Amino acid sequence: MKKLFAGNWKMYKIYSEAVEAVKKLMSLTSPLPKDREVLILPPYPYLKSISDLISKKDGYFLGAQNFYPEEEGAYTGEVSPKMLLDVGCSYSIVGHSERRKYFNESDEFINKKVKFGLQKGLKIILCIGEDLTERKKGEVFKVLERQISKGLNEVKDDKIEEKLCIAYEPVWAIGTGEVATPIQIEEAHKIIRELLSDLFGEKGAKIRILYGGSVNPENIKDILPVPNVNGVLVGGASLKPESFSKIILS
Ligand code: PGA
């Protein structure tokens, strides 16, 4: 299983900065080690240009941070999977905690997106994770179980192990500089692995589980060897090619 290094740029960078960052990242990391893949998740307006830069390079992929689960239509401001695929995306994030929080995305709506995106041919990174109150109350298992069972309700695909990734992102570790400990990561990823095996049988063992939340060039050495960590979803540290490249080549 190749490890996936995904850079979620959120709502950062203007166009020229985005293009420069990708060029720099590729010069620092190409050719990639054979066991690694890089996924760049920039804002929508830069997708096509970045696709043109990376499409011929082995191991580099492009994805979106979100989409709307309809084929097309009068949905002002929204973007469909068909549009994303057409400009070179192969992945999209679904259910990031910032979308759950600021855009009130429910597990049911997230489930609709997972199913629709997969059906249209996108690979999906489903983000899950507890917040600090839930952790303090000892509800990590309960939250992960709910987000997985609802988010993946009736999700079926012959190649689910290639098309689905889960990102475990404890909300309290996102953008805070406070990273989960290797033990906390191991426990959560083990829970997720078991839930995936319950849902998908043997294929559940092959679905990549990424860790996300304040990953940086220093802590990556402790995170990557943790059992069931099959890659990372990086926010802040993916914005600078120098730091993202160190994470990728760690
Ligand atoms: P962070 O963000 O690395 O800045 O904590 C991670 C994410 O939100 O995916």
Catalytic pick among 96, 98, 105, 130: 96
Token pair belonging to 171:
């909300």
Ligand 1 site, CB within 6 A = 8, 169, 174-175, 212-215, 233-237
Instruction: Please choose, from the candidates 205, 179, 174, 177, the residue with its C-alpha nearest in 3D space to the C-alpha of residue 192.
Output: 205
Is the distance from CB of 224 to CB of 3 less than 8 angstroms? Answer: yes
What is the pLDDT averaged over residues 124-145? Answer: 96
Q: Phi-psi bin for 13: left (phi > 0), alpha (psi -120 to 50), beta? A: left
- Confidence band for 69, pLDDT divided at 50, 70 and 90: very high
> What are 22-41's pLDDT values in tens digits?
999 999 999 999 999 999 99
Distance 233 CA to ligand 1 centre (A): 7
For the question of residue 169 being annotated catalytic, the response is: yes
Q: What is the number of the ligand 1 atom nearest to the C-alpha of 238?
A: 3
What confidence score (pLDDT) does residue 55 get?
86
The residues near 68 (Cβ < 8 Å, ≥ 6 apart) are 75, 78, 79, 80, 113
- Centre of ligand 1 to C-alpha 34, Å, is 25
Return mean pLDDT, the chain. Answer: 97
Which one-letter amino acid corresponds to residue 182? P
- Strands 208-212 and 164-168, by their bridges, are parallel
Give the pLDDT of residue 56.
82
Radius of gyration of the chain (CA): 17
Residue of 4, 40, 93, 234 best suited for mutating to test ligand 1, as the one with most atoms within 8 Å of CB: 234
Using the predicted structure, report yes or no on whether residue 140 has a pLDDT greater than 90. Answer: yes
Determine phi and psi for 62, rounding to 5 degrees.
-120, 140
Q: Which two tokens stand for residue 86?
A: 């057409």
Look at residue 231 in the predicted model and tell me its pLDDT. 98
Q: Which atom of ligand 1 is nearest to the CA of 176?
A: 5
What pLDDT is attached to residue 180?
A: 92
Residue nearest to atom 9 of ligand 1 (CA): 235
Asked if the peptide bond before residue 31 counts as cis, ω within 30 degrees of 0, the response is yes
CA distance 163 to 120: 11
| Arithmetic mean of pLDDT, 216-229 | 98
Closest approach atom of ligand 1 to CA 234: 3
Which pLDDT score, from 0 to 100, does residue 145 have?
98
Q: How far is the CA of 179 from the centre of ligand 1 (A)?
A: 10
Structure tokens at 32: 């990639």
Q: Which residue type occupies 210?
A: L
The whole-angstrom separation of Cα 200 and Cα 56 is: 33
pTM: 0.97
Distance from the alpha carbon of residue 173 to the mean position of ligand 1, in angstroms: 8
**Percent of the chain surpassing pLDDT 70:** 100
pLDDT for residue 178: 86
Contact 193, 204 (CB under 8 A): yes
Cα distance between residue 7 and residue 22, in whole Å: 11
| Catalytic residue check, 162 | no
For residue 114, the model assigns a pLDDT of: 98
Mean pLDDT of 69-76: 98
pLDDT digits (tens, 9 = 90+) for 48-68: 999 999 988 899 999 999 999
Confidence of residue 84 (pLDDT cuts 50, 70, 90): very high
Contacts of 208 (CB under 8 A, 6+ apart): 1, 3, 4, 165, 166, 230, 231
